[in-house]
Amino acid sequence: MQKLDPDEVLPFDFFDQTDYNTRRTFRNDKAALEVLKNTRDKSYKGKLREYEEALTEAKRAYERTARPRIVLATVEMLMGKMITAKSHLYENALSKVTRVIIDEASLLTEAALFCLIWRFPQAQFVFIGDDKQLPPFMYDPRILGHELAGRSALSVVMKNENIPIISLEEVYRAPPSLVEPYNRLSYEGRLLSRKPEGDCILSSLGLIPPNRPQLLFVQVDGKQERNKQTMSLHNNEERAVVMGLLKRFPESMKDEILIICLYKEQKKRLQESLGKDYTVLTVDSSQGKEKAIVILLTTRTEHAADMGFFCCRNR
């Protein structure tokens, strides 16, 4: 989160909402701090601490009187305020909420939904998401506690026939050739892609024959290894293949490449090898990201039981 700056006011931040005299006071104090810093004055650190404490107190004072019409928050933030609030500030502000809109609702657990309903008993709930995408993190139907309260709230809600459902079936992120497989397997052909087919990058680099789907499978005769502390898997041979594959792409395309790892240890080691030049993410953290080239590392496993994560239909 960007720090508040009286010289660079952002829309709807504290300095945007406060009065001119308050902004001028903090501007003057900040300018005085810059002088102390540039002259290496010994009192700089103490004055900086005083400035930050004054800014924090002014922000808190404003929040005690603010009555926002829209609150943007994560579910975890709201739950935290329910538990840790020491005054009636949040109680009074949240009691008047009339509508709660939850994005990526497939990641909301059933237990969290119950808490939200309890906190906003008069509110109308709107869920935006796809029940065929990722379920809540770490959900395992074989664990009784997960099955009782960790199911996807979106899936639970959709089973209620009294709740209206609006289906959005137009796709704007992927062209028809990429939509077709999962459209056929999971959506019964209902999806309609509105994105034109892009450049055939893999074909232009000689990795795929012309007029073929831009999808490349690379067989790696590697072997899994396990981090003894985290128990996460990695694969040295697979990382070496990726390093070689990346050399086939022009330097100018680094920002257009996304690498997804199924295991955190593989992600960590590959990121260390590549540095900050490439974007390396896990399956969960890559949700919603878009790049022209996506490389998926499956990190070969030795036991069939380990394939459940990769074979999960929602992934």
Concatenating the DSSP letter of every residue in 194-226 gives -SPP---HHHHTTSS-TTS-S----------EE
Q: What is the mean pLDDT of residues 290-303?
A: 82
Answer whether residue 14 shows pLDDT above 80. yes
Q: What is the mean pLDDT of residues 210-214?
A: 82
Phi-psi region of 62 (alpha: psi -120 to 50; beta: other; left: phi over 0): alpha
Q: CB of 164 within 8 A of CB of 150?
A: no
CATH topology of domain 200-311: Rossmann fold (3.40.50)
| pTM as predicted | 0.60
Lowest mean pLDDT among 45-49, 72-76, 93-97: 93-97
Cα–Cα distance measured from residue 313 to residue 315, given in angstroms and rounded to the nearest whole number: 5
Cα–Cα distance measured from residue 157 to residue 137, given in angstroms and rounded to the nearest whole number: 18
What pLDDT shows up at residue 1? Answer: 40
Q: CB of 174 within 8 A of CB of 195?
A: yes
Q: Count Cβ atoms within 10 A of the Cβ of residue 195 and give its class: 0-12 exposed, 13-18 middle, 19 or more buried.
A: middle
Q: What percent of the chain has pLDDT over 70?
A: 87
Q: pLDDT band at 137, cuts 50/70/90?
A: low
Q: What is the mean pLDDT of residues 54-66?
A: 85
pLDDT, tens digit, for every residue of 152-185? 888 888 888 788 889 889 988 888 888 888 899 8
Q: Which residue has better confidence, 145 or 101?
A: 101
In sequence order, what are the residues at sequence separation of 6 or more whose Cβ sits closer than 8 angstroms to the Cβ of residue 271? Answer: 280
pLDDT, tens digit, for every residue of 246-292? 999 998 999 999 999 988 999 999 999 998 889 999 988 887 788 88
Q: Which residue has better confidence, 29 or 145?
A: 29
The total of other beta-carbon atoms located within 10 Å of residue 14's CB is 20
